[in-house]
Amino acid sequence: MANKQTDNPWTLDTPASGVVINKNYIKVHHFEFIDYAVDADTATLKNQLGDVVWKANGASDLRPVISGHIGWINGLIYDAASAGIVRVYIE
pLDDT tens column, 10-53:
999 999 999 999 999 999 999 999 999 999 999 999 999 999 99
pTM, 2 dp? 0.94
* Domain total of the chain: 1
Burial 52-68 (b: 16+ CB within 10 A, else e): ebbebebeeeeeebebe
Mean of the per-residue pLDDT values of the chain: 96
Which residues are 46's β-sheet partners? 52, 77
- Pairwise CA distance, residues 31 & 22, whole Å: 15
Q: What is the mean pLDDT of residues 65-81?
A: 97
What is the dihedral sign for C-alpha 37, 32, 48, 4?
positive
Residue 1 in domain: no
Residue 39 in domain: yes
CB atoms within 10 A of CB 22: 19
- Structural domain range at position 65: 10-90
Residue 4 in domain: no
Q: Are strands 52-57 and 85-90 parallel, antiparallel or unpaired?
A: unpaired
Q: What is the mean pLDDT of residues 49-58?
A: 97
Q: Indicate whether 1 pLDDT > 80.
A: no
pLDDT-derived band of residue 2, with 50, 70 and 90 as boundaries? Answer: confident
Residues 1, 13: contact at Cβ < 8 Å? yes
